[in-house]
Amino acid sequence: MSKYKVDITGLNTSDIKVLKQKEMNELFKKYQSGDENAKEELINGNLKLVLSILKRFNKEKYNMDDLFQVGVIGLIKAIDNFDLSYDLKLSTYACPLIIGEIKRYIRDNTPIRVSRSIKDQAYAIIKFKEEYLKTHGTEPTNKEIANELEIEEYQINFALDALKEPMSIFEPIYNDGGDTIYLLDQIADKKESSQDKDMLISLRRAINKIKERERNVLVSRFIIGKTQMEIAESLGISQAQVSRIEKNAINNVKRLIK
């Protein structure tokens, strides 16, 4: 799990109040008696729980502001459904709901568009597996899942695979100290000309030789598809600076290829 400080736009995380258990119990009693102000205090007093969960997610890959807002939705759901008679801490009850909301948001916002029916089928499979595990202590077989949901076994892996995040073709898969081998090298069109191969090799070597920040900006812009503003926010710099880095990176790659 990566460790870093989560920065949220417009929120001074150091000023967030953390409620003690006794305070939380009193606020829950007030809220469950109809005091909406108590609910607001419960939400604000548990924001650091959401922030701690966000540390599990790559801040270079996801927009932390968006994930924070989604995580707070999970926190609110937990507060709305929490009962003091559960005899457990709110954090224990809320964490799975917060994580679930965030993962659902990430799945629904993947760059690859998957049909709603396949997503719904995948969610039904996941839900059944979770319920089965709670009841039996083991995961169900594909046959048991297929029988329960009235689908074919092959559809199970097909649906679950549809929820996986896409991998960049520039994902490094091997490096023995020499030239890095990327996923692109393994799926390249075998019909390409030798000239295309030479250009691809030259391009890859050039990209490996430029500064790491320049390389990261190029990948973020032209492989992942981020805007200059999104990159600026993730790096904590201005959009103008990103524009200059991008321009320098392109010029350096052109120079190295010649």
Stretch 177-191: mean pLDDT, rounded?
A: 59
Stretch 29-50: mean pLDDT, rounded?
A: 90
- How far apart, in whole angstroms, are the C-alpha atoms of residue 164 and residue 119? 11
Of the candidates 205, 211, 196, the residue with the CA atom closest to the CA atom of residue 178:
205
- Assigned fold of 116-161: Arc Repressor Mutant, subunit A (1.10.10)
| Number of DSSP helices (H) and strands (E) in the chain, helices first | 13, 2
Residue 194 has pLDDT above 60, yes or no: no
Q: Which of 43-57, 126-140, 218-232 has the lowest mean pLDDT?
A: 218-232
Per-residue model confidence as pLDDT tens digits over 126-177: 899 888 888 888 889 999 999 999 988 878 887 887 776 665 555 666 666 6
| DSSP-assigned letter for residue 11 | B
| Choice between 189 and 120, residue whose per-residue pLDDT is larger | 120
Whole-number pLDDT of residue 120: 86
| DSSP-assigned letter for residue 150 | T
Q: Within 13 Å and on the Cβ side, how many CA atoms surround 118?
A: 17
Whole-number pLDDT of residue 128: 92
CATH number of 172-257: 1.10.10.10
Q: Within 13 Å and on the Cβ side, how many CA atoms surround 179?
A: 11
| Same-fold call for 13-108 versus 116-161 | no
In what helix (H) or strand (E) does residue 173 lie, and over which residues does it extend?
strand 172-174
The DSSP-derived string for 184-218 is: HHHH--TT--HHHHHHHHHHHHHHHHS-HHHHHHH
Q: Is 86 exposed, middle or buried (0-12, 13-18, 19+ CB in 10 A)?
A: exposed
CATH number of 13-108: 1.20.120.1810
Stretch 24-28: mean pLDDT, rounded?
A: 90
**CB within 8 A of 96, min separation 6: which ones?**
none
- Mapping DSSP onto H, E and C, the string for 14-72 reads HHCCCCCHHHHHHHHHHHCCCCHHHHHHHHHCCHHHHHHHHCCCCCCCCCHHHHHHHHH
212 and 180 Cβ atoms separated by less than 8 Å: no
Per-residue model confidence as pLDDT tens digits over 94-122: 888 898 888 888 877 765 556 678 888 88
State the chain's mean pLDDT as an integer.
Answer: 80
Whole-number pLDDT of residue 90: 86
Residue 243 has pLDDT above 70, yes or no: yes
**Domain residue ranges in the chain:** 13-108, 116-161, 172-257
Residue 1 has pLDDT above 50, yes or no: no
